[in-house]
Amino acid sequence: MKQLHPLQDLCTFIDQSPSPWHSVQTARRRLEAAGYRPLSEQEPWHFSGGKYYVIRGGSAIAAFRLPARPVTGWKLALAHSDSPTWRLKQLEGRPAAGYTRAPVEGYGGGIHYSWLDRPLTVAGRVILRHEGRIESRLVYLDRDLLIIPSLAIHMQRDLNSGHRFDPAADLQPLYGAEGCTDLRKLIAAELAVRSEDILGADLNLVPRQDAVLLGPDREFLAAPRIDDLECAWATLEGFLSADGDAAAWFLLDNEEVGSGTRQGALGSFTADVLRRAVLAQGGSEQDVLAAFAGSFAVSADNAHARHPNFPEKSDPVNPVLLNKGPVLKYSANQKYTTDGLTGAVFAEVLRRAGVPMQVFTNRPDLPGGSTLGNLLTHSVSVPMVDMGAPQLAMHAAVETAGALDAEHLLRACEAFYQSGLRCSGDGVWHLGSAPTACAQDLSATRVFDTPAAPAEASLDEFETPLML
């Protein structure tokens, strides 16, 4: 099979992942194709080495590979499976002024107006009674099903002067006419089950738009869920590109609502998997902690690019642009985990690989958000960087990114997993066969040299061009 161009592969990954539960299954298929075998958290783990994955809660997945020798440190990358959206409260519609609305509640900090007046559908998981047990099934209704209609300008003349949206009034989607076929029946028909066997559901609203390229030279990518599926895809493919050393990859859920779930960064999933993997090889708790101390982690979540209409919102010290490479994120208040040491190490990895890199910092009077990294350190305390691709319209129903940055980000993740990075003492790191101390002995490195410019990716390499 001909290998897809990285950008086309990213678009495929996004289109196949309309919900966190679908994202996990998209990743699972890729892992199994690469020879990774499933594990259950409910069973003891015993192995000397190998390639494995494990799923928790249906919306988080971890994969790891182990050499036959004891683990002395992990190369680890993490991204998240969820995006801001609207979650259905029930499968039955609610009568409203002669129509039927689907009752929803906001999930995460989305840009509300971006959801108006666009075709929507639902995706997620449905809980079924089946042959004496309760089980989950994925569902995606591949049809234009709902819409959140705006109130006409004639009825709110001051709308363009600013409007505060009331989710209970302004943002409930129109489902159908009064007395229309209810959603439960549509889902039952889709899954070929009886309506009465549907016991529950976790369903999100999904914009009905595939990933597309924009611009005179197709230099921009527009798609739902770029945050954080771009990083999910790149870190997974980077993980699969390497072999040999102990390495792990995690796709966690619920980042957009604080990560405080069993499948989120504040849960125990990451620590549980890494700890059990070492113990399964016959290691001790001391070996677990020693492996943590010798590890390096990449928390991958996209970053804000400078906006063409609002350039003043970005930090003038470190402007970030689309198509100029992945972004290392720094925060003085530690909302991001990158510091002088870890940033220097990661910058050297990218410099050696010829991958361009940018730096993101907040404007001093505009504090930014947080992500997986600083939350994960509550349970897995390892040296870490926060990085991601630059994008615009973060948390909108449809977001915008640089078309070339898909390959830039992929090459960065491949370089990290292939780097041979290892730690020989606190603050001393080595890369490959030519060890380089990247922190306490910076005089021996050229960490801050200007990276060599890589060959520009060509969008003409697509087998099937993506067009509007």
| Residue 247 · residue 34 · CB < 8 Å | no
pLDDT in tens, 447-465: 223 233 333 434 433 333 3
Q: How far apart are alpha carbons 406 and 380 in whole angstroms?
A: 28
Q: Is the peptide bond before 170 cis (omega within 30 degrees of 0)?
A: no
Confidence of residue 159 (pLDDT cuts 50, 70, 90): confident
Quote helix, strand, coil % in the chain, to nearest 5. Answer: 30, 25, 45
Q: What is the sign of the dihedral through the CA atoms of 95, 96, 98 and 101?
A: negative
Confidence of residue 88 (pLDDT cuts 50, 70, 90): very high
Q: What average pLDDT is seen over the chain?
A: 90
pLDDT at 365: 87
Extents of the domains making up the chain: 6-83+224-461, 85-207
| Residue 223 · residue 232 · CB < 8 Å | no
| Residue 239 · residue 250 · CB < 8 Å | no
Q: How far apart are alpha carbons 329 and 468 in whole angstroms?
A: 32
Structure tokens at 78: 């993490």
pLDDT at 2: 54
Looking only at the bridges linking them, the beta strands covering 60-66 and 133-140 are unpaired
Of 122-136, 218-232, 241-255, 431-445, give the lowest mean pLDDT range: 431-445
At the topology level, CATH places domain 85-207 in Aminopeptidase i, Domain 2 (2.30.250)
Report pTM.
Answer: 0.90
pLDDT in tens, 271-321: 999 999 999 999 999 999 999 999 999 999 999 999 999 999 999 999 999
Structure tokens at 393: 């319209």
pLDDT at 35 over 60: yes
Structure tokens at 123: 């995706």
CATH for 6-83+224-461 is: 3.40.630.10
pLDDT at 225: 98
